[in-house]
Each structure stands twice: as C-alpha cells, then as structure tokens.
Amino acid sequence: MSNKDLQPDGVPNERRIRRMLDAAARVAMRAAGDVEPNPLVGCVIARGDTIIGIGHHRRFGGPHAEREALADCRRRGHDPRGATLYCTLEPCRHHGKQPPCTDAVIGAGIARVIYARRDPGPESGGGDRVLCDAGIASLCVPDASDLAVRLSDPFVHRVRTGRPWVIAKWAQTLDGRIATRTGESQWITGPAMRRRVHRLRSCVDAVLVGVGTVLADDPMLTPRDVRRVRRDPSRVVLDTHGRTPRDAALIRSASEHRTVIVTADPAAEFPSPVRVLRVPGGGAGVDPRAAIEAIGQQLGAASILVEAGPRVLGSLLEADLVDEAFVHIAPIVLADQGAMAVASGRDAPRLADARRLTVLRSRSIGGDVEIWCRRTDAMQP
C-alpha cells in the first residue's frame, strides 16, 4: 500500500454520508432481536467512496459495531489509518461488557468519524468529545440517513423513559375492522402476512393481549415456523379481574412457554408456573402505564408486541404508550357497523384529538399490505 492511500480521507459530501450510513443501518438490522436492550448499531469504514470494512453489533454482550468493522477491514487486508468511520450511533466511551469504542477508533488511526445519533447513555455517551480531544474530526449528521437515525429509536426511548418499546400489530379489513359482528377473525390476512407476525413475535420479549382475546380466540401467541427464534417471548394477558379460563391454551402450555397474567385483582390466583403481576386498576381496567412498566421491570422486557383487541389497544393509545405499529391490511370490506373496530374507548371528537404516527414503510406481502409506522414524537433526535 502506498503512502498516498494512508492520507487522511477528505470531507465527505452528503450523498456519500447517506450511502455509508444507509449501508451501516442495513447491516445493523440483521441483529434485530439479538442485541436488545442494547441498540442496533452498524458501522462502515471507507476511504473515499470505497468501503474497506463493515460490521455490526451482532449479539447482546458481544463486540460493538466499530470493533467488528475494524476487524473486517483488517481481515480484508486494508489499513484503517486515515480512513473515515461511519456509525449509526455515537461511539461509546465507557467500559461496559465491552471496552470503549473510542479506544479502538483512536488506536486504529481513523481520521474522521461521522455518526447519525448521539448516545443518550450517561456513561456511554460523550464519545464524540473523547474523539475530538484525540484530534479526530467527529461529527453528528442526523439528517443524511433516516434509516440510521430511526434504528436507535427503541434504545433512546428505553434510556429516556425507562419503559420498554411498545409495538402494536393488528390485521384489519380495508374499512378498519378486525372481526365480524359475530367475532369471526380467522383469517383476515393471508398466510404470508401471518408468517410475518410470527417473525415479529420471535424478536420481542413479550406478546401482550387482553383477556377478551383469550376468551374469543384461545391463542398460543408463540413464534412458529420461523427460521430462528431470537427471543422466546413471555405471553402476557391484561386481565383486570383474573377471568382467564384455567384451561386456556396459554395456561395449559405455561410450562413450555412463559405465561404471565397482569391483574388488578388482589385475590386472583393461577396455577404454577403461571406468573401473576399485580398492578393498580385505573378507569376501565388495569392501569395501562403501570402494566407496561411492570412488564418492563418485573419481566425485564425491552420490547412488547401488542396483539390485543379494541379495548386494550384503545387504552394504550389513550395513554400514548404505542411507540410503533405494524398494520396489516387485507383487501376486503365488511361495511357493517356492527363489525369490530381496531381500537375503541377514546373520546376524540376533533381531528386534533387523533394520535398521529409517521409511516416508515409500506409494502405488500402475499396480497395484503403492511404499513409500518412510528409515534411521531418517538422520533425526536
């Protein structure tokens, strides 16, 4: 390698920053479900427009993205000295389960660091300053790659609020109904979209329903037919008065898959190994915020997939606890006002009372459409 190759990399333009941060974000997403409660983080090392190393945080407790990318760079026979390192998250400066990334970046002779989002962690954050003090040009560029910034939303949310990330999923008709007036809901969407739901389940710590769904559908709520179950979620029932039938599939299978009842009834008892979390009642049922916090703290859940019916979903929306939604729409219309709506229980006479989400992506899967959206104020930098 000539000396010219090791000259400090020039200042990248916005197009190049977007390309590199997009690439870093895409590789990071491969570890969804494997790293939480840590963030998904991806990293690219480049000289000019040429990527010489790429890596991501692969599993909780494992090496951070920057070290993975530096190792990849050396494996490919490249020298990272003078190169630019692009990272979706500010390189950490703390000793956690891994040594500080700032040490690795400085030691490798990287000339410039571009990252998409600051690390809000009180100990891990602030690596930017450490890098600058070491003479490395370090810059937060939040507006080049939306993907790279959005990648850290769940992590930033957990650090800021102490609550798990709440993902709602529902399947609806074109006219926004989740079941007929007689309660028939199997199946609104087709098999490909239903496989997608199992994949979503396999990446979260808890799947949440209300007792109404247990009584109507007697579901199992396990991830099935997925290549790899990354996280085996607890199945959680919001059950104010402890009405879950003792012979429900969730109760009968509790020794194979964790089952948890969240109740406001101090006297409700369930057979072992079903776990009971007691939380205060609030308004119409279990206080939704207390329930989400209990699931986070007592089960150690970083993420919750809500597959509940209208009442529970409505109460979570009313308390503004839904961070993200996967809406699965089948091209069928019931046009029956007695059919079951997606969510209910709110009082929203004006459009200004609506909860607004921002669409991240929409795509069709097996003849149905998936809209992926996120609470707009979960998207603050």
List contacts with Zn ion (CB under 5 A).
64, 92, 101
Q: How far is the CB of 160 from Zn ion (least distance, A)?
A: 19
Interatomic CA distance for residues 224 and 213, integer angstroms = 19
> Least distance (Å) from ligand AOF to the CB of residue 97?
4
| Cβ distance to ligand AOF smaller for residue 140 or 365 | 140
Instruction: Determine which residue in the list 101, 147, 167, 301 makes contact with ligand AOF, applying CB under 6 A.
Output: 101
128 in contact with ligand AOF (CB under 6 A) = no
Of 34-42, 70-78, 212-220, 272-280, which segment contacts ligand AOF by CB under 6 A? 34-42
318 is catalytic: no
Closer CB to Zn ion, residue 66 or residue 368? Answer: 66
What are the backbone dihedrals phi and psi of residue 172, each rounded to the nearest 5 degrees, phi first? -135, 160
What is the number of helices (H) and of strands (E) in the chain?
11, 18
Cis omega before residue 273 (within 30°)?
A: yes
User: Count of residues for the chain?
Assistant: 381
Round to whole Å and give the CA distance between 14 and 5: 22
41 binds ligand AOF (CB under 6 A): yes
Binding test (CB under 6 A) with ligand AOF, winner from 71, 79, 98, 268:
98
CA distance 68 to 40: 13
Q: Which lies closer to ligand AOF via its Cβ, residue 51 or residue 291?
A: 51
Give yes or no for residue 91 binding ligand AOF (CB under 6 A).
yes
d(CA 357, CA 291): 23
Tokens standing for residue 204: 């979260």
List 66, 90, 307, 324, catalytic entry: 66
Enter the tokens of residue 247.
């012979």
For position 66 contacting ligand AOF by CB under 6 A, the verdict is yes
Q: Measured in Å, how far apart are the chain's first and last C-alpha atoms?
A: 40
53 in contact with ligand AOF (CB under 6 A): no
Under the criterion CB under 6 A, does residue 65 sit at the interface with ligand AOF? Answer: yes
Whole-number Å distance between alpha carbons of 159 and 29: 20
Q: Are 223 and 257 in contact (CB under 8 A)?
A: no
Find the residue with minimal CB distance to ligand AOF: 96
38 binds, among ligand AOF, Zn ion, none (CB under 5 to 8 A by kind): ligand AOF
Q: Which is nearer to ligand AOF, 37 or 366 (CB)?
A: 37
Closest distance of CB 56 from ligand AOF, Å: 7
In degrees rounded to 5, what are phi and psi of residue 260?
Answer: -130, 130
| Chain CA centroid to CA 371, Å | 15
Residues with catalytic function: 66
Residues found near ligand AOF in the complex (CB under 6 A):
38-39, 41, 57, 61, 64-66, 89, 91-92, 96-98, 101, 119, 121, 124
